[in-house]
Amino acid sequence: MTQAEFIEITSEIERFYSTDKEDKKYTSEQIKIMYEELKKIHKERYRQIAREVYKTLKFMPKLADLVEINNTLPKIQEDIQEKVECKKCDGTGMVAYFKEIKDGNITRKYLFGARCTCANGAVLSKKIPSIAEVGVYDE
Ligand SMILES: [Zn+2]
């Protein structure tokens, strides 16, 4: 993030921990060192860290707190999965199929979903059976 972006979000943190009686401020020396350590972090990630700070820290965070939260807070899904073209799942990763289940004398058709074996399906939960496992498209 740029220095301007860093200052903008850090000022928010300062304001959050300020009271009517007392303005909380980092010193310019602290700001300089903090920026050196945190500049590789993306602006949106730093915002996410700030929100976590508000929820978890009673006092204005030190650099060590910010670094620790950055190391422990799960990252937002930043890289949006690219969809691949696939005729089986139409790019959704899921394939609908019917399964006939006997209920006494009646055979009912039920709609199920299975995970496609393409890259779209690879990002979905492994708890969903794949089309290979359920025997759909087993050509
Ligand atoms: Zn597919």
pLDDT digit string, tens, across residues 26-55: 999 999 999 999 999 999 999 999 999 999
pLDDT digit string, tens, across residues 85-119: 999 998 889 999 888 888 889 999 888 999 999 98
Domain ranges of the chain: 3-72, 81-139
The residues with which 38 forms a beta bridge, in sequence order, are none
Buried b / exposed e across 65-83, counting CB within 10 Å, b at 16+?
Answer: bbbebbeeeeeeeeeeeee
Cα 112 to averaged position of ligand 1 atoms, centre (Å): 16
- Taking each helix axis as running N to C, give the angle between helix 63-72 and helix 28-38, from 0 to 180 degrees, rounded to the nearest 10: 20
Burial class (CB in 10 A: 0-12, 13-18, 19+), 106: exposed
Cα 92 to averaged position of ligand 1 atoms, centre (Å): 7
Cα 53 to averaged position of ligand 1 atoms, centre (Å): 40
Cα 75 to averaged position of ligand 1 atoms, centre (Å): 27
Q: What are the structure tokens assigned to 54, written together?
A: 């508000």
